[in-house]
Amino acid sequence: MSAVILALETSCDETSAAVVAGGRQVLSNIISSQVEVHRKFGGVVPEVASRKHLELLNQVVAEALGAAGLGFKDLDAVAVTYGPGLVGALLVGVSAAKAIAYGLDLPLVGVNHLEGHIYANFLVDPALDFPLLCLVVSGGHTDLVLVKGHGSFQVVGRTRDDAAGEAFDKAARTLGLGYPGGPLIDRLSRQGNPAAVNLPRAYLEEGSFDFSFSGLKSALINWLHRAGRLGGDVNKADLAASFQKAVVDVLVDKTLAAARENGVTTILLAGGVAANACLRAELARRAEEECRRVIIPPPVLCTDNAAMVACAAYYRFLRGAFAPLTLNAVPDLKL
Ligand code: KG4
Ligand code: ZN
């Protein structure tokens, strides 16, 4: 069945619309980033994000249909991220999707944003065998998710404080690198020595798959204060690389441990931090040592985009899991 789905994604600061056929063929994936608008504030300003989505969404949808060479009449369903995320931002996408579904008498599919991130992997390989283990690392989440079947998720580990992306963004601010921090640390780290500064890795209790990054952030701040007092030179590239390695080591160690514990042979990577070159390389290298397969979507499918939402929606569509036209934004939606 080759259903054509239009999906909208407006949960944070990317306005995105995509058209995907049969859950695998990405006909278009238009992403309009608001990063320049938010940069001067050093982070996403929710009210500004909602207003920008409102300004941009119609144009982005028109571009997505145009790039796919299709019109509204060719669609089989319309999908939208309805949580988790910023409530005002989510509402723009949800309202637009409901209007399109109502106007065209199409089924509406509501998608969890994290489910969307996980399904970016099914765009890479639609024939993945369950069970799967997915490390979801984004600006708001760090979750280890056991995927038992389509739409069947069990969170086996999660962060107890900062998300991995949040840790990257805060570290970049501490180092005076700017916003958004993840890609800047990623780039600067390539010139640095990851063994230069010894930063802590939080493994928590024996056997726990939870994460904690707040201690690492404090250690980085303390290290900088001490260096400032001593008046020595700070090599930011070394510090960025050391910080990044401390995050990546824990992420990779816990992911592999959870895969062993749950007898999973295929590991998926998802979310904005999955664009990180060090994480991608380390996870691939270490999993290969254990003969485990790793799927790593291309960076454009790791950061927020609507193609992943369309892919997740396709499997809901096949199950007839449609949303009513009363669908609302749920800012703290769980998997
Ligand atoms: O998934 P995403 O695009 O939005 C959320 O759902 O949160 O993730 C955004 C997060 C930000 O914290 C950003 O700094 C981080 O992903 N990020 C990265 C990289 N690219 C984006 N972190 C590390 N390295 C990167 N290359
Ligand atoms: Zn995201």
Atom of ligand 1 nearest to the CA of 139: 7
Cβ pair 270, 132 in contact under 8 A:
no
Nearest to 81 by CA among 10, 5, 4: 10
**Tokens matching residue 230:** 């001593």
Q: Domains plus CATH for the chain?
A: 4-118+302-319 (3.30.420.40), 130-297 (3.30.420.40)
Annotated binding site for substrate: 136-140, 169, 182, 186, 276
CA of 182 to the centre of ligand 1 (A): 6
Atom of ligand 1 nearest to the CA of 244: 23
Sheet containing 108-112: which strands, arranged edge to edge? 25-33, 14-21, 4-9, 77-83, 108-112
- Mutation choice for ligand 1 from 134, 141, 159, 168, CB with most ligand atoms inside 8 A: 168
CA of 204 to the centre of ligand 1 (A): 24
Listed residues: CB within 5 A of ion ligand 2: 138, 304
Annotated binding site for Fe cation: 113, 117, 304
d(CA 315, CA 319) in angstroms, rounded, equals 6
Percent of the chain with pLDDT over 90: 95
Q: Write down the pLDDT at residue 233.
A: 81
Say if strands 25-33 and 77-83 run parallel, antiparallel, or are unpaired: unpaired
Q: Is the dihedral of CA 136, 137, 138, 141 positive or negative?
A: positive
With a cut of 60, say whether residue 10 has pLDDT above it.
yes
The closest residue, in CA terms, to atom 21 on ligand 1 is: 272
Buried b (16+ CB within 10 A) or exposed e, 100-109: bbeeeebbbb
Atom of ligand 1 nearest to the CA of 166: 12
Give the ligand with the smallest distance to the CA of 271: 1
The verdict on pTM exceeding 0.90 is yes
Give the ligand with the smallest distance to the CA of 278: 1
Phi, psi of 278 (to 5 degrees): -65, -45
Cα angle at 56 between 69 and 3, to 5 degrees?
35
Q: 46 preceded by cis ω (within 30°)?
A: no
The residues lining ligand 1, judged by C-beta closer than 6 Å to any ligand atom, are 12, 138-140, 165, 168-169, 180-183, 186, 271-273, 275-276, 303-304
Average pLDDT over residues 16-36: 97
Cα angle at 125 between 120 and 131, to 5 degrees?
85
Q: Which residues contact 175 (CB under 8 A, 6 or more apart)?
A: 185, 220, 224, 236, 239, 240
Question: Tens digits of per-residue pLDDT, 104-136?
Answer: 999 999 999 999 999 999 999 999 999 999 999
Average pLDDT over residues 21-35: 97
Q: Write down the pLDDT at residue 1.
A: 53
ipTM over 0.90: yes
Residue 124, CA distances (Å) to 128, 256, 294, 298 in order: 9, 21, 11, 8
Q: Which residues contact 289 (CB under 8 A, 6 or more apart)?
A: none
Average pLDDT over residues 32-59: 94
Average pLDDT over residues 320-330: 98
